[in-house]
Structure 1
């Protein structure tokens, strides 16, 4: 039986779950018949599980998803609409994040692209990868400015995470200085992280929206050749289906 001194030390070391588990196990039926190793394993497992749950919740909160309850299993796969469940299973296992590959989600407005991209991000958080969600205007507004200490800090947050999800990709044509900044971020992440790009535009239209030329070539070469593409089809808006309109 652990004494009060031992309990106090556990709390001081921020092992409060382990301390609580130790106290609860002392009163559990049949605990006296268990060996030391078995009892220790039960207490350590309680602390381990609690820390993993806490880490997962922290990653989800830091990611900044507009839809934190999104999940790959909840993606609607109605008749006449893609992706189907088989197409979602491969990226939802997060092997692509481990291998620093990308996912591109395309489709018409209201098709459910943001939900799919969020579901992939939530799956990555569940696998304990660091994720950041943003809309393209946000990094462009932060990075296409004078390069001071704050600029370096903002740039770092888009580079250091394991997975960067960019929503509203090329919804509007970007200026040459903006294209340069996003190119630098993508090149910096090329060997160290993954991207999810959510766009209404087909890949064939990207070049023109990036201003053509060498920078457009660089972005497309860095992203597209190592990407899994999910195109969501269907003439009826997912917002309309979910809202029960018509």
Structure 2
């Protein structure tokens, strides 16, 4: 009886989370007059909302921009996070703990606090309306450093010593020995970083004004609030579905690794 109750509550909780997404897809396929009904099946089925989105905004170019920025920046985050995390986990040097705690402290600061200084830096460097403004400020990530540090600390020192005896340098130890042994952590960082970069709209809205360089979230935001949607709610929802689809597919593909890492990545001193 208790098991039945437990599974019933879990099912209801799962449905409460997934219902808005199902409704979003259904609403994007409904006519404008059918959006008022919160049902799971499209009312007045139509593809017109998606046709309008593809007609009025350059989704293809924006998708490529977002993919380029998210993939390249995620790669830089993995490389920088692994290197810094290894240094903080395995190297002995003065101020190591202080640096680590400062990195942890930066995680408590909202991005909006550093937004103006970052923008001024982009202007001084002449990077406004370039991909550099979208990539460089996010190339180092505090969470990736923390997760890599904790993962590397959980590995035996003998693994590193054996690699050094075989003549491996520090970079080879990091990327050929240690990272493959903490693959769930690396995949978790990849997913979280990619999701954050893909969904980022505020920063691109500030530093990018040239439409061919705009990312998909930025273009969808401008489309929804800038008048191109002409007040059509179904069209706005269809644009949101196009924005969310790659993230949903990415999570479905890597969900086992993601859950495994989140369940096993306890923080250790």
TM superposition score category, shorter chain reference? under 0.3
Q: Which has the higher strand share?
A: 1
Q: Which has the higher helix share?
A: 2
Query: TM-score if structure 1 supplies the norm length?
Result: 0.23
Name which structure has the greater RCO, CA cutoff 8 Å, separation 6+. Answer: 2
